[in-house]
A and B are shown apart, each in its own frame.
Chain A
């Protein structure tokens, strides 16, 4: 298959492998780049990945430790790595790609230490200008098991959205919607992890369904305010990357953020503060909101609990005491 018809994926973690598996099962060629020789050998030799054993590895899925091969064989590349690794991985990818590549990240977090959106990190580290983000309520295990899932690909470039949809759409397992709201989808995806922690904490506090519903709607409202202040479309936060992500993670699917929220009722250990993408996004999100001059009481409350500045109960009380204004 040609370079145009091959999807490149950076990272053979759970999500990257599951996504590669779904796309390859739809008959497309996929090449995964991992720095871990053992994982690459396992995929190539044993046709399995021990990080995501549930994901079938079809013949059209190959793996390599050579980033130059990834760039030579795929024009569209999805970066599916942790936010803590994005700067380094993007630099490595930046060594081998050129301006004709289409780079999309699938990271629901903000990058440290500058609280940058991940597309900004990719832009700084690579020569590519045509960038995008992939986000939404597609859990890695659902993808691996072939469950119905949907995601959204957002880019200011029609070409990135169209190519992403062409290469990633694998109905009925994965449907990919398109959006031009790059900033909105990135922020919605990152902040949904934070509010998932909040929902885990609320459930640990045994709040009622009404309070839970208030938490979700107020979370979307304040996230939308931040998004609008940063140039995003407020409606994006009610879509797949925002509400969709929040509902799936707090609705019973396995979620590190939700579990972390439940644990917050007990004493918070220093390691807990940045244990998940959601926790890292909470602290970064507070700084972003302050810079943008946007009031975000829920986000600040969750970040305060995570950093040990407030107890879970105090934070809940503060959030409840917030003066109600026009919705």
Chain B
């Protein structure tokens, strides 16, 4: 296992370099598959009929556009109303032609780009620029030194050697936890520093609203996902595009939690939509090019000492408006000043962000050995293609079977995330303080804590140190609880606490906690709750164990 930020000697091939030349072919393949499947399904009649498919698109688009006042939106609205009105009189040939046009239209909207010049610029110039931004203003000398320190600020660790092996042999699907809109930027940087190839990924269309960010996202392999489009045809196109990318060997990234985690609890229940495309892609490859074309899923955690959008996210979580505010486009990420603040304040600390790339698993949730071969729970090699084979040894299409495999894969990922989580001092300190405060309030219910008088939100310094110390011991002794950040492991608990209190007191609009002599006062219980939530899986495990009489 390779740990730390040292750049590996060997670098995996950048397959995205050939993407632009491949793009039309990929898009045509997506179009062919989606149209063929829908037309075949339509032959059964009823609600699978083309009229229903097209009507679903019209209804959804009209609904979306009705509230918009721009001239462009009004023109689009008229087009959709016109189509909806014509549907009843259209022949089957005309409906098929319309379907093809729509698939191409949305496919073009989705499909990404990869510009090697932008990639080189992003990797060579941006880190230096970020480093410079982190330096104290006015000190050019310090600024140049800081350029070289970005590696220390964003730390990459995990199974890097094995991942190189797997990246050469097959296709990687990086599946990180998701806390911040900075995630895709940070992980793109991290993969490059680890000598791993760049990945393509689906990014919310709202993120493309910032021209600067849009330029980089567009040209670094991101494809656009418009979450406002809820109709089935669009979902089919997205899934097929992802499937085709994987089949063609393009390393990909999915955030299996879906959107950014509002609560900061390590994701346990993952969304299966895009994840399922990895199973389908493997099956399709096993059928056409052979079972040796492997796909590896990499459980990955992105662990921030402080999270850029913590205030918005936790407010959204507490207001239980997560669904209605599915697309937040007025949060900290959209304000360029806050991004600079992120760079200057959040990345100011060594190891502020740790990206941990866990041991890859195959698309059926099996572990792999050091050569990238799938192994069963007894450690014996298994042929992954056997899971999609029928009685006569031929690979068989079976969507229900593959959905079940995807569910099993999601479960494995959900189990891996807590284990691969790197706990910063901020998480441990927040948990220790939270435990004390909730004991004083008499409830772990956040809403009760928010209503509690300030006198109950004060923790004696010694008790906080003892709490941090106990948590450090628990995490160090339990492999499934996660890992201690290198600034925490082996360090005195009081030092860990002091450092965390400094961090929690500096970045957010109001200090989360403040030290006053022998006391630590909690100023922002909602943010304390947010940061301590990163350790929630430790409590869950503890309560499960205590409910198991007769077990050690």
Contact = CB atoms under 8 A, between A and B. Distances in A.
Interface string B53-88: 000000000000000000000000000000000000
A115 to B, nearest CB: 10
A157 B401 contact: yes
Given A124-B377, A125-B378, A129-B405, A290 B400 contact: no
Interface in B378-406: 378, 380, 382-387, 389-393, 398, 400-401, 404-405
B377 A129 contact: no
Interface stretch (A93-101, A197-205, A207-215): A93-101
Interface in A118-156: 123-127, 129-130, 156
A99 B400 contact: no
B302 to A, nearest CB: 30
Contacts of B544: 291
Interface string A100-115: 1000000000000000
A287 interface: yes
Nearest to B547: A291
Nearest to A163: B391
B364 interface: yes
Interface residue SS majority, chain B: loop
Interface in B518-552: 544, 547-550
A127 B385 CA distance: 12
Contacts of A125: 377-378
Interface string A218-239: 0000000000000000000000
Nearest to B365: A129
Nearest to A287: B550
Given A156-B404, A157-B401, A290-B549, A4 B391 contact: yes
Interface string A1-42: 011100000000000000000000000000000000000000
With a 10 A CB-CB cut-off, give which of A100, A159, A290 has the most chain B CB atoms. Answer: A100
Nearest to A159: B401
Given A126-B376, A129-B405, A158-B400, A2 B382 contact: no
A94 B404 CA distance: 21
A2 B383 contact: no
Given A157-B400, A159-B400, A127 B389 contact: no
Contacts of A290: 547-549
Contacts of A4: 390-392
Contacts of B547: 290-291, 293
Contacts of A126: 376
A100 B390 CA distance: 6
Most buried by A among B392, B404, B405: B404
B377 to A, nearest CB: 5
A129 B386 CA distance: 10
Contacts of B387: 99-100, 129-130
A273 interface: no
A68 B387 CA distance: 19
Given A99-B386, A290-B548, A291-B547, A158 B376 contact: no
Contacts of A98: 382-383, 386
Nearest to B550: A287
Interface of A: 2-4, 75, 94, 98-100, 123-127, 129-130, 156-159, 287, 290-291, 293
30 contacts: A2-B392, A4-B390, A4-B392, A75-B391, A94-B378, A98-B382, A98-B386, A99-B385, A99-B386, A100-B386, A100-B387, A100-B390, A123-B377, A124-B378, A125-B378, A127-B376, A127-B386, A129-B387, A129-B405, A130-B387, A156-B407, A157-B404, A158-B398, A158-B400, A159-B401, A287-B548, A287-B549, A290-B547, A290-B549, A291-B548
